[in-house]
Amino acid sequence: KERFNEINPNALTEIIQSAELIEQEKNGVQVRGYLEIWSNLLRELTAEEFSAIYHELEDRELKPDELLVKQGDRNDELFFINHGMIKTFYQKSGRKVYVKSLSGGDLAGENFFDASVWTISMAAQTESKISILKRSSFSRWQEAFPGLEAKLRAFYNRSNDVQDLLLRKGLNRRAFERYQLARKIEFQIINNLGNSMGQRFKGRLSDISRGGLAMKFHLSQKKHIRVLFGRKLHISIPVAGKPPELNVYGAVLSINPAEEDGNEYKLHFVFDAPMEQEALQQVLG
């Protein structure tokens, strides 16, 4: 291209064509490099499925210590790590607890497949290059590739072991002890003023602590998961005493499938304020 400029600056057609060829070669190298990094994922998908993902990706470069996502965020993007090292950590009692580092060929995205806040933070450990798949982009072509989400989720579950690692290392991030408890409960969606926004729904309590609870419930349509995520709820828990129920208020932290098939989901809920120990004992009976 530079030689064309030297020999004949007026040869605009040849200069433009050479520039286009250069860009094509650059893109070819980029695609080939990408295919090498994600060869394991490519084996799981058809060429059309991989291409659909590839053309929706947005590239981003990170400097060392640059924060990618913060604990508590509701970011619903899926991160493809192409180059460099990304450290994962969480904060407890004012200090950072290191979990592990992710590198080329690793995926991360706690809120991409299931409605959930991020329970960890991620930041660049070295200069890093990542690609980002937005949930909104992914949802646009679900109908064209109905099995793609299941394949991508399965690959993610096999390759991302951060949550399993937290359990294996015994890294307990909970502020309060949880108690297993099976009991029928009811809940309502409320607005920011605390007023009910509709009917009462039924669920089954799984466990409870002073800070929150988990329950299972049926949801007929999967698309409603993200409608519930982050919403304020009023939950009524039957107790032995007067009044015969305890009312708690708070917000939905996450909703995940409770089983492989069916419409049962597990909802994690955080109280607006920690429950008094006396009230917890009343619930535990």
Pull the structure tokens for residue 281.
Answer: 């004992």
Chain position carrying tokens 């690609």:
131
Closest CA to 122 of 105, 93, 100, 106: 100
- Are residues 164 and 185 both part of a single domain? no
Considering the domain architecture, whether residues 219 and 132 belong to the same structural domain is answered as no
Task: Give the pLDDT confidence score for residue 27 in this predicted structure.
Answer: 47
pLDDT in tens, 89-110: 988 777 888 889 999 999 999 8
Q: What's 217's domain CATH number? A: 2.40.10.220
What is the percent of the chain with per-residue pLDDT over 70, rounded to a whole number?
A: 84
Give the CA distances from residue 24 to residues 19, 28, 58, 67, 204, in Å, rounded to whole numbers and listed in that order: 9, 6, 18, 33, 57
Mean pLDDT of 73-81: 91
Q: At a CB cut-off of 8 Å and minimum separation 6, what does 260 contact?
A: none
Considering the domain architecture, whether residues 218 and 260 belong to the same structural domain is answered as yes
Answer yes or no: is pLDDT of 28 > 70: no
Domain count for the chain, please give it: 2
* CA–CA distances in Å: residue 115 to residues 14, 137, 265: 52, 16, 11
Tell me: pLDDT of 265 over 50: yes
pLDDT at 22: 56
In order of 4, 225, 231, 280, the CA distances from 221 in angstroms are 61, 8, 17, 33
CA distance 151 to 108: 15
| 222 shares a domain with 142 | no
Boundary of a domain, candidates 169, 203, 221: 169
What proportion of the chain, given as a percentage, has pLDDT over 90? 29
Q: What is the DSSP string of 6-69?
A: HH-TT-HHHHHHHHHHHHHHHHHHHHHHHHHHTHHHHHHS-HHHHHHHHTT-EEEEE-TT-EEE
pLDDT at 5 over 80: no
CA 12 centroid distance within chain:
49
Per-residue pLDDT, 29: 40
Residues 192 and 116 in one domain: no
Pick the last residue of a domain from 117, 151, 169.
169
Give the residues across from 266 on adjacent strands.
216, 256
**Over residues 266-271, mean pLDDT:** 90
Mark whether 123 and 140 lie in a shared domain: yes
Q: What's the average model confidence in pLDDT over 9-13?
A: 54
pLDDT in tens, 196-235: 877 888 999 999 998 999 999 988 777 777 778 888 999 9
User: Which one of 126, 152, 169 terminates a domain?
Assistant: 169
Task: Count Cα atoms within 13 angstroms, Cβ side, for 131.
Answer: 16
pLDDT at 1: 47
Residue 154 shares a structural domain with residue 37: yes
Q: List pLDDT tens digits, range 155-184.
A: 998 888 887 777 666 555 556 788 898 999
The pLDDT score that the predictor gives to residue 18 is 58
Q: What is the pTM of this model?
A: 0.68
26 in the same domain as 113: yes
Q: Which domain holds residue 67?
A: 9-169
Reported as a single tens digit per residue, the pLDDT across 183-200 is 999 999 998 877 887 788
On whether both 160 and 219 belong to a single domain, the answer is no
